[in-house]
Every structure is written in structure tokens, then in C-alpha cells.
Structure 1
């Protein structure tokens, strides 16, 4: 599989790459808030050769004051990735069941950790199945990778940095609009959003087929939200869905956005941090 200018890969292209003499490492990272466990779905059927990684245990640190899905310890992340066969010289493809939320988290983490070639299966397992491509219940042999994470390959901001971006740049809130407005809050301590943040639900990154919208459409979307070459940050509930927004920004040709890993789960747990509610002005 050759290097690509897009962080996405289509099902047919992935099938061809998996049949090549030097196939990519394939990671299944199925996960959804509240379950069922992705490991059970993986055991019932997955792409041939795919290794399963657990988002809660291997792609995040334990929940706490820093949020529900803090960034993992690079050493522990590296151990999990090497067990899955991840090596610096081999490309990696990640997928989930759709809509690429947890796959985007894995893509972002690998890039943050310094891996140079990571792509997301566009449309996830649903697109693979829609193309009539094969699955298996057989897990692959344990991998023997050599990848050593070096944190800092992609930018992050803390709570103060997110607040500053909301004032002087562009801070996108990737959650559903009703959570941004503070009408509901099913998980975190308080409802609302970071003052000055702009609502940008990740559902608007996708077409009706569950795949990412074309680059030009995404560029127009983010341009209308205020992305015009200045600094951009993204947050969500716990730093997972925000990675989907950053992936969409890269597809749109607008890389370089910063992730606020703690996101609303950290911010709302700090009583001295203000919370805004209602729709954004304008």
C-alpha cells in the first residue's frame, strides 16, 4: 500500500492492499458509549487479519479528573500496538463499525504517537460488508511490532488553551447540537458548552451512506464555521468524537487542528470553569 494524500481508504482499495506481499497492519477498534463491548462483536466477525484494540483499556488512560478518556501512557500504548503488530515501516489501517468515531481516535493517537502512515476505512465495517467482502471469526497470531510511541506528533491543548482558542481563534464543539445547547447532558457533570465555542456536530461530516463527505464539501462546511487558516481546536465529551472532527478537517485539506483531550468531561468537572448554554449567536 503506497502513501496517500488522504487519511481515508475505501473498502476495495483495502481489500487489494491486504492481498499484497506487504499488507498493512489492520486494527479493529469497535466501541460505543454504553456498550456492547467491541470485543464481543469482533469475536463474532471481523476483517481477515485484524487485531482488536479496546478503546477504554488500550487507547485511553483510566477515567478521572482529566476526563473520561484521557490520553494513554505512551509506554502502555506502545505495548498494545506492538502486540497488534504495529511497526514504524508498515502502514496501518483502522476501522470500527461506523461512523468512524473510535477509528478516528485510533488514527489520531497513532499520528500523535509519531506513526507516519495511518488511514481509516471509510464507512467502516458497514462499507466492507456492503461490498460483499469476506470476514472471519479467527483471530490472527499475536503481532511482533517495533513501534515506539513518541508523544507530540499532533497538537493538543489543555483547558486554558481551549478557553484561549474560543476567545482568539476557533474552538469547535463536536458533540450533538442539543448537548452543546445544554438541553441534555447524559454523561458529564454539567450541561452546556465552553463559552465562545462553535457547535459543529460530527454527524455533519458524513453523507447518508455513512462515509465522509467529499473534501470540497467538508472544506465549505468548516469555512462557514470560521476555519480560515487561523488556529483551530476541537473538543467533544471525552476526546473521542473530537478526533472524528480532526479527521474530517484533514480530509478537507485543513490539517493542524488541536485536540482538547479532556474535553467537556474534564471542563464540566471543574466548578470554576464557566458553562454557556443556548444556541450560538448569529
Structure 2
């Protein structure tokens, strides 16, 4: 896979939006402090976009097992219903975006790929679109005709806690350094990280909102050993780990996602915990 297969620039998107075969736009406004971005979407979004609620459409909160993490993957039937409600068929071109460096959009991108579909993330998100001269609209978003698509779950590799514990490749933790080192833990049961993991904060992929140039991104992950061995990715709850998976995919590396991530691992008292760098 190449960068152009997983990312699209605002300059590339604008002429597509003016064409007869405009892509389906999914807007995933989500941050940890404000998981529901519906009002931000209503205040201004790319014309034709559909709001996607990460907590309800890109996760399964009916799963109350703490070891499943704070954002378990949606059940296949539920995700298929969501994809159908977005009017996406097997051949639909999809562009996903947000206003937070792609951290929420990457989760939707990963799930579409996991479901056997395709999609690209708008590099730089809404800010890049506006900077390129794109106009926004307000209101509830587009109304689309539902599709009858059938998804193919598990089209991307997923690992569980036992796999993570026995991982022989490189296991990358996408959380901020202070959480990885165990200096603070505002959300989960314990502070620290999975023994043997390396810290690769997802925010480092797009420090100014847009992804690093390919050479810089390649250097970043080469220093972590991501081109020499199998790669597993995790974070706090399986959301920002998808950003690392996206960055790696742009470099031709397929990563395995541990969806329960640290929130699931740290909820199991039998799992070992490591702190420090």
C-alpha cells in the first residue's frame, strides 16, 4: 500500500467534490475531552458529509467486559448496518476526515479496511480543506440512500491480550510519553505499559495537523524497528493506535491492532505492567 492509497490532500479532494462521482464524506469529530462532536459538525462541515459518532458507530459499548477496553470493536452486524446507513457500497470512494490531526478519522479508516472496504483520510482534515479554499455548510449533514453492502470482517489483522503478551515483533504504544512511562494515568486502571512495548505517540505522525513527509515518517518508524519485524499497535482504547496503523500503511507496512489496548490490559490484574522509558 502507498501513501496515496490511504491519504488524500485537500487539493486532490476539491476537484473530486465538484465531479459527478464525488466521494462519500465521513466526518468523525471526536476527542477524548469531547467525544461527541455533533454540534461542531453542525456548525460547519464539508458539504455532503455525514457525521459519524465514534462512540456509538465505531465501537461496541454493549460489551461491558473491562478487559475488552473502553472502545471495543463494533460487532460485525452493527458495523455493517452503520456502513449501509452511510450509503457505502463495495465500490464507493470514501474520504474520512476530522478536525484533530486525523486521530478520530483513522479509526473509521481502519474499520472500513477491516470490513473489506476502502477509504482514505483527508490529510490535515477540515483545516487543510478550508486553507485550500473549500467552503463549509452548516446543519445536520447529508441524507443518503442506504446501501445493501455486505462487509467482510477481519480483513485486517487483530490481536488479543495473549497475542500481545507473546508478541515477538515490535509492539508500538500510541499514547503520550508520560502515560506510557506510567507517570500519570487519568483514564485507566493502572499506569504503565505492556512489557516490551515501545512508545510511538500518534501525535508525532502529524505534529502540525498534517502527516509528516514520507521520508520523515519512514525515518520515525525505522528507528522503532517497524520495517524489520511484525508490528503490533495499541494505545489507550484502540482509537489512536489506528493512527499509527494508518501511518504505517502509508509506508507499505501492515500492522496488527490490539483493540482492547491499555484500557483492557490494565483491567486484568493478572497482566504484568512495566513503567519507565
TM-score normalised per structure 2 = 0.94
Equivalent in the alignment of 1:192: 192
Q: Which has the higher contact order (CA 8 A, sep 6+)?
A: 2
Name 2:261's counterpart in structure 1.
Answer: 263
Measured in 2, the distance between the counterparts of 1:4 and 1:276 equals 34
Q: Quote the Cα distance in structure 2 between the aligned partners of 1:207 and 1:271.
A: 35
The structural deviation recorded for 1:111 is 0.2
Per mean C-alpha deviation after superposition, the further-off stretch among 146-155 and 119-128 is 146-155
Alpha-carbon distance in 2 for matches of 1:141, 1:180: 42
Q: Distance in 2 between matches of 1:16 and 1:51?
A: 19
Where does the alignment leave 5 or more consecutive residues of structure 2 unmatched? none
Distance 1:59 1:149 in 2: 14
**Count of residues in Structure 1 that have an aligned counterpart in Structure 2:** 272
Moved more, 49-58 or 10-19: 10-19
CA-to-aligned-CA distance 1:166-210 (integer Å, 9 cap, x gap): xx21000110000000001010010000000001111211243x1
Partner of 1:140: 142
Aligned to 2:131: 130
The 8 Å contact of residues 172 and 199 in structure 1, kept in 2 or not, is answered as: yes
- 1:58–1:77 Cα contact (<8 Å) kept: yes
Identify the residue that residue 230 of structure 2 maps to in structure 1.
231
Task: State the match for 1:94 in structure 2.
Answer: 96
Task: Give a deviation string over 1:73-132, Cα, whole Å, max 9, x none.
Answer: 1111111121111111111100011210110000000000000x3100001111112223
SS of the residue 1:101 aligns to: coil
Cα displacement (A) at 1:253: 2.6
Determine the C-alpha separation between the residues in 2 that align with 1:180 and 1:99.
20
Kindly report the root-mean-square deviation, in angstroms, between the aligned alpha carbons of the 2 structures: 1.5
Equivalent in the alignment of 1:53: 52
1:121 and 2:108 correspond = no
SS in 1 for 2:13: helix
Moved over 4 A (4+): none
Q: Which consecutive residues of structure 1, in runs of 5 or more, have no partner in the other structure?
A: none
The question of 1:177 aligning with 2:180 is answered no
